[in-house]
Amino acid sequence: MHILSFLLSSFTILLALPAISALPPSPIGTSKRDNSGVYICSDINWGSTCVHLVAPLGGQDCIKLDGTASSIGPDQGLTCTFYRNGFCDDLGDKPLTLKYPGVKDLTTIGWNDQARSYSCVAG
């Protein structure tokens, strides 16, 4: 009976370990505004498949996208720049800069299925 209890408690601990180790470390002194969020949907008017992508603020991180966005909305207090390539460089092609609430229909500005990367800064 003791062996069964030991095995069950060991199994429970092993199941909990992946969940614990999957959590990223939390730096001391950070706030919620240290990460930016962008709401992206594959159809216009915030339709079909939507995700809220979160990344560090500061413009140093280039977040790659799959080029299927038809609606994009940065969180309040952010300015995000979107690019038609996967490495956040305008390459002579004018990038798209958005603030909250974003654009619910990217077809109206010639950016439907065009955003391949972005970076955000506070402001």
Nearest to 82 by CA among 102, 97, 100: 97
Average pLDDT of the chain to the nearest whole number: 77
SS3 (DSSP) at 98: strand
* 89 CB neighbour count, 10 Å cutoff: 13
Amino acid at 53: L
What is the average pLDDT across 63-90? 95
Backbone torsion region of residue 29, taken as left when φ is above 0, otherwise alpha when ψ lies between -120 and 50, otherwise beta: left
Cβ pair 113, 70 in contact under 8 A: yes
Q: Where are the domains of the chain?
A: 33-122
Global pTM value? 0.70
CATH placement of domain 33-122: 2.60.20.10
CA gyration radius for the chain?
Answer: 20
Encode pLDDT of 7-26 as tens digits: 334 433 333 333 322 322 22
